[in-house]
Amino acid sequence: MSLKEQLNQEKWQLRNAAVKKLGLDKSPENAQLLTEVLRDKRPSKWWANLLGEKFHQVGFIRRNAWASLKNQNPENFPLEELAMASLQDPYYEVQSACLRTLYHHLRESEITLSQSLEARIKARILSGDNFEIRLAAIPFLSFIYEKDEIQELAAQIVRARHWRVRGAFLEALCYIVEKGAMKREEVEALLRPFNMRSEYFKPIFLLKEQRAKLDQMLLEKS
Amino acid sequence: MIYHLCQYLDPDKQSLLRLGHAYISFRAGLAFLFAMAIVLFLLPRSYHIFVRYGWVNRQRSYMIDSSSKEGVPVMGGMHIFIGGMLAFLLFCDLTNRYVHIALFASVFSFFLGLMDDLLKIRDGNHDGGISRKGKYLVQAFVGLTVGVLLYSQWSPHPELLRGTICLPAIKEPLDVGLLQIPFVMLVVMFISNAVNFADGMDGLATGPSFLTFMGLGIFSYILGHAIWSEHFLYFYFSDMEGTVFLNSSELVIICAASMGALMGFLWYNTYPATIFMGDCGSMYLGGLLASIFVMLKQEWVFPILGFLFVLELASVLIQDWLGIGLLGRRIFFRAPYHENLKYKGYSEPKIVVRMWILSAAMLALALLTLKIR
């Protein structure tokens, strides 16, 4: 069975496997097939709709289509159009996978984002609905925000409920510092209100670290 | 055995030896301390044997990740089993049928878990062991046997309670006849699996199991006590001599011994764990809890008293069967529920302690059902 045929199977597990396989090869045909999957907005069966899945191409398929698009050339598929649609997807993993793929291409292929897409990403950074989406959106800060905007945003993120969101902001700041986009004093001013609570605490098991070090040495010797 | 020895030496309850057979509370206290002492004594001494034979937790990669739980010995449930069993045998009335059924369910469940652990260790695969179907089959057998025993002439329950199910908030038991047997079987399978799923973090299954045994101990004491059961109108029939759950107080000893064994184990199992209980521990606890719940006819209290276990099992069922299996999407970020919290960024000790707090609150709620019926 060809991948195209597999994409038309009734069982979603088979279609999902096909979508994953499409990501293995970088080709315009595969990118086209993935685009069709993401454009497919046929409704799901009534019982699935009732239980929360709106589309025939179920959440995992839409999410994995975005993960597969990460390996495709962004010139071979309408990135902007698909991203605009997926950032309104009712399933959070589709939005976060879309943002991760978009970010990947932004860094690797130097694509440019339209103002409307930027606006949608900014909305995802600020929205507190789902922390996984925010985590995927925050790295865009280093690309789409001006210095003043970051200062405004920091004041909001510092109050984020999830420490991982606050942590993602710090990571984005690292990238900004690396690029030399902000001065040391400016970054320090942003960090001042951060509450470094013990949620950040991670224990260090020295015994395990020493054993890991020994394992590494043995691996290198063998 | 101490119970029978004391009874033999002091049948008229004239000397101090009467404490060893006439007072449930005294024996329960002794069973608690004894089981705890056994676990505290055995565990550090046998720990190195577990390591030497490679009975340790394995991850999928070769390298040790410093934050992983690789290399921590498993099958610590063996200590809970040994400590608990020795205390049962010493302090329980071994002619009591409640005790027989509890021993049957717990021993069978323990060996099922032990087999599962040993297969995982042999294959070096944490996801291996006995297949899911195989486990369900054995659990169904245990549940079916307990169901048949409770329905038969051999049951510790009086005639009028056989073939009945007790519903929440209703005083009179509901007559269901033979349907009691499959009901008991399903309850045993449900509870055994629920406890097994909760065993995913250091001390997560231990603390709530302790509190569940505490609640069950209180229930069995009240139900088996003529004055208290009359006070709460708990299956108390005036034409019968005392309570219909006469002799069920013996389960207090089993609950107390299990609590003691769990406390001894928690000493080493608290974060960061020195040892894990493994399937032999979680299945043993699940089997024992299930048998006590069905014998006391308090199955419907389990969703309250064992709220954490139900939460864990429900999250797995919803995520795996409904979400991933049927709808093709996640419902929770991760399942079981403690993994969901971990994914959100909560640290392990915080999740575990909060679950203990939640379990304590649910214990208080479960005790309210004694009166609200």
Q: Is B61 on the interface with A (CB under 8 A)?
A: no
Q: Which residues 141-180 in chain B show a CB within 8 A of chain A? A: none
Establish if B331 belongs to a structural domain: no
Q: Is A55 helix (H, G, I), strand (E, B) or coil?
A: strand
Is the pLDDT confidence value at A67 over 80? Answer: yes
Residue B318, in any domain of the structure: no
Average pLDDT over residues A101-114: 88
CA distance to partner chain B, nearest, from residue A49 (Å): 9
Rounded distance, CA B38 to CA B30, Å? 12
The average pLDDT across B61-78 equals 72
pLDDT above 70 coverage of chain A, percent: 95
Of B67-71, B91-95, B216-220, the one with minimum mean pLDDT is B67-71
Average pLDDT of chain A is 87
In a domain, B351, yes or no: no
Q: What span, in angstroms and rounded, lies between the C-alpha atoms of B31 and B256?
A: 6
For residue B173, the model assigns a pLDDT of 80
Yes or no, beta carbons of A208 and B347 under 8 Å apart: no
Q: pLDDT, tens digit, for every residue of A14-54?
A: 999 999 999 998 899 999 999 999 999 999 999 998 988 88
Mean pLDDT of B234-251: 66
CA separation, residue A23 to residues A20, A60, A73 (Å): 5, 14, 11
pLDDT digits (tens, 9 = 90+) for B289-337: 999 999 988 888 899 999 999 999 999 999 999 999 999 999 999 989 9
- Is B37:B264 a contact under the CB 8 Å cutoff? yes
- Three-class SS state of A165: helix
pLDDT at B258 over 80: yes
Q: Which residue range forms the structural domain that includes residue B159?
A: 2-301
Q: How many CB atoms lie within 10 A of CB A119?
A: 11
Cα dist from B85 to B35, B81, B99, whole Å = 8, 6, 11
Q: How far apart are CA B234 and CA B218, in angstroms?
A: 13
Which of B57, B63, B64 is most worth mutating to test chain A (most A CB atoms within 10 A of its CB)? B64
- pLDDT at position A201 is 66
pLDDT of residue B235: 64
Would residue B321 count as lying in a domain? no
Give me the pLDDT at residue B103, please: 94
- Of the spans A132-141, B17-26, B44-53, which averages the highest pLDDT? A132-141
- Residue B275 near residue B76, CB atoms below 8 Å: yes
Per-residue pLDDT at B286: 94
Which of A51, A58, A131 is facing B344, going by the closest CB pair?
A131
Helix, strand or coil, per DSSP, at residue B164: strand
Taking an 8 Å cut-off on Cβ atoms, the answer to whether A199 and B345 are in contact is: yes
pLDDT digits (tens, 9 = 90+) for B96-124: 889 999 999 999 999 999 999 999 888 87
User: pLDDT confidence of B61, banded at 50, 70, 90?
Assistant: low
For residue A101, the number of C-alpha atoms closer than 13 Å in the C-beta half-sphere is 29
Average pLDDT over residues B18-30: 82
Residue B354 pLDDT class (50, 70, 90 cuts): very high
Residue A137's pLDDT is: 92
**pLDDT above 80 for B219:** yes
Q: Which of the four pLDDT bands, split at 50, 70 and 90, describes residue A3?
A: confident
In-domain check, residue B342: no
- Please name the residues between 305 and 324 in chain B that touch chain A, using a CB distance below 8 Å: 322, 324
pLDDT, tens digit, 9 for 90 and up, residues B148-167: 999 988 888 888 788 888 88
Six token digits for residue B274: 């020195």
Instruction: Kindly state the helix (H) or strand (E) to which residue B279 belongs, with its residue range.
Output: helix B278-295
What is the per-residue pLDDT for B241? 54
Q: Which three-class secondary structure state does DSSP give residue B174?
A: strand
Number of domains in chain B: 1
Rounded percentage of chain B residues whose pLDDT exceeds 70:
92
For chain A, give percent helix, strand, coil, nearest 5. 70, 0, 30
Q: What is the pLDDT of residue A128?
A: 65
d(CA B31, CA B259): 9
* B62/A58 CB distance under 8 A: no
Instruction: Classify residue B158: in a domain, yes or no.
Output: yes
Q: Which residue has better confidence, B214 or A186?
A: B214
Domain annotation covers residue B105 = yes
- pLDDT(B85) > 80: yes
Flag whether pLDDT at B171 surpasses 80: no
Q: For residue B114, what pLDDT is reported?
A: 93
Task: Give the pLDDT mean for A115-132.
Answer: 85
Q: Which of B324, B329, B345 sits opposite A91 (nearest CB)?
A: B329
Res. A127: pLDDT tops 80: no
The helix/strand/coil state of B175 is strand
Region of B163 (left: φ > 0; alpha: ψ -120 to 50; beta: rest) is left
Mean per-residue pLDDT, B139-147 = 94
Nearest to A132 among B324, B326, B333 (CB): B333
Dist. CA A68–CA A27, nearest whole Å: 11
- ipTM, 2 dp: 0.81
pLDDT classification of B359: cutoffs 50, 70, 90? very high
Residue B345 falls inside a structural domain? no
Q: Is A208 on the interface with B (CB under 8 A)?
A: yes
Rounded-to-integer distance, Cα B177 and Cα B235, Å: 18
A202 close to B (CB below 8 A):
yes
Per-window interface: B 63-102 vs A, CB < 8 A: 63-68, 71
Pairwise CB contact (< 8 Å): B62 & A215: yes
* Neighboring chain B residues of A52 at a CB cutoff of 8 Å: 327, 329, 331
Considering only CA atoms, give the Rg of chain B. 21
Instruction: Identify the pLDDT of residue B106.
Output: 94
Q: Which of A44, A54, A60, A220 should we substitute to test contact with B (largest number of B Cβ atoms within 10 Å)?
A: A60
Residue B69 has pLDDT above 80, yes or no: no
Tell me the shortest Cα–Cα distance from B186 to chain A, in angstroms: 26
More confident residue, A190 or B275: B275
pLDDT at residue B248 in the model: 83
- Calculate the average pLDDT of chain B: 87
Partner-chain contact B67 A164, CB within 8 Å: no
Q: Assess A54–B contact: CB distance below 8 Å, yes or no.
A: no
Q: Residues B239-249: what's their mean pLDDT? A: 65
Q: Which of A163, A204, A209 sits opposite B345 (nearest CB)?
A: A163
> What type of residue is B184?
V
